[in-house]
Amino acid sequence: MQSQHRMEESAELNRTARPGVNQKTSSGLPDAMLEHRIRSRAYEIFEQRGFRDGQALEDWLKAEKEVLRTTSVEASLPKH
Residue 72 lies in domain? 22-80
Strand partners, 30: 24
Q: Tell me whether residue 29 is in a domain.
A: yes
**Number of domains the chain is built from:** 1
**Could you report the per-residue pLDDT of 25-61, keeping only the tens digit for each?**
666 678 999 999 999 999 999 999 999 999 999 999 9
Find out whether 14 and 32 touch, Cβ atoms under 8 Å: no
Is 7 domain-assigned? no
Q: Please indicate, yes or no, if residue 68 is contained in any of the structural domains.
A: yes
Instruction: Report the pLDDT value the prediction gives residue 21, as an integer from 0 to 100.
Output: 42
DSSP structure class, residue 42: H
User: Per the domain annotation, does 11 fall within a domain?
Assistant: no
Q: Does residue 69 surpass a pLDDT of 70?
A: yes
Return the beta strands (E) in the chain as ranges. Answer: none
* Single pTM value for the model: 0.61
43 vs 8, 24, 57, CA distance in Å? 33, 23, 11
What single DSSP character describes residue 22? T
Residue 40 lies in a domain: yes
